Chains A and B, each alone.
Chain A
Amino acid sequence: QSVLTQPPSVTAAPGQRVTISCSGSTSNIETYSVSWYRHVPGTAPKLLICEDNKRPSGIPDRFSGSKSGTSATLGITGLQNGDEADYYCATWDSSLSAAVFGGGTKLTVL
C-alpha cells in the first residue's frame, strides 16, 4: 500500500485531455514539492513535472502539474499514442523520513 494514492489506470482517446490524481497527507504533499515521472517498464523513468508545477526543459506544455492541500494532479492535453506509459507522483515524507512514490497510473490511449 503506497503512501501516495493514484488511480491504477486511466483511459482516454487521442486528442483528449486526462488528469491523474495523487493523494497524500500533511506529512508529504502538503509540506513538500511534488514531482511527476513517466515510465515505460525496463527503461529509465523521465521527469515530467518538478516543484509541483514546473516543466523541465524539453517537456512540452501539454503536460501540467498542480497542487492543492494534500493532493496533486498531473494533466495531459492533446493525448498521443506515444503518451501510453505509467505515470508516478513522488515527494518527501517527513513522518517516514523517506521519499515516497505513488502506486503508479497506467495511461492507455485508444
Chain B
Amino acid sequence: VQLLESGGGLVQPGKSLRLSCEVSGSTFRNYGMNWVRQAPGKGLEWVSGISGSGVNTYYADSVRGRFTISRDNSKNTLYLQMNSLRAEDTALYYCAKDSWPSGRLYYFDYWGQGTLVTVSS
C-alpha cells in the first residue's frame, strides 16, 4: 500500500489550498482515510477523517468550518480543501489509511510521506 500526498506549498493567510492523496495497493473504498498534521516543533495533530463511502466526515475543532475532507473512490484519491488559511495551519500534512471503513479512528496502518503547507505573507 502506498500513499502519495501532493498539493502543498506557500500560500498567503486567508487564501485556499487543496491537498490530494493518491492511494495504491489497497481497495480504497473499503477503508476510512484521514489527514494528520505536524506543525514545526509540535506533535502530531489529527485534522479530519472520512468513511470509506464518503458519507461520514469528522473534523478537529481547529479546522471545522474552514477545511473540507472528501474522496473520489473512482480515482483512489483523498482530498483536503483548506480555506481561510491561518499561520497556525503551517505544517507537514500526512494522509493516513485506517484499518476499517468507519472514518472514526481504529488504527492508522499506512501513512504517506507528507506534503508541506506554509501559510505566510
Contact = CB atoms under 8 A, between A and B. Distances in A.
Interface residues of A, number: 30
A93 B113 CA distance: 26
Contacts of B45: 101
Nearest to B99: A50
Contacts of B94: 44-45
A32 B106 CA distance: 8
Contact of A47 (B36, B108, B113): B108
Contact of B112 (A2, A44, A56, A90): A44
Interface of B: 34, 36, 38, 43-46, 49, 58-61, 92, 94, 96, 99, 104-109, 111-114
A103 B45 CA distance: 9
B41 to A, nearest CB: 9
B43 A56 contact: no
Closest 4 CB pairs of A and B: A99-B105, A35-B107, A104-B43, A50-B107
A98 B108 contact: no
A44 B113 contact: yes
Interface of A: 2, 32-33, 35, 37, 39, 41-47, 50-51, 56, 86, 88, 90-92, 96-104
A99 B49 contact: yes
Q: Which of A35, A88, A91 has the most CB of B within 10 A?
A: A35
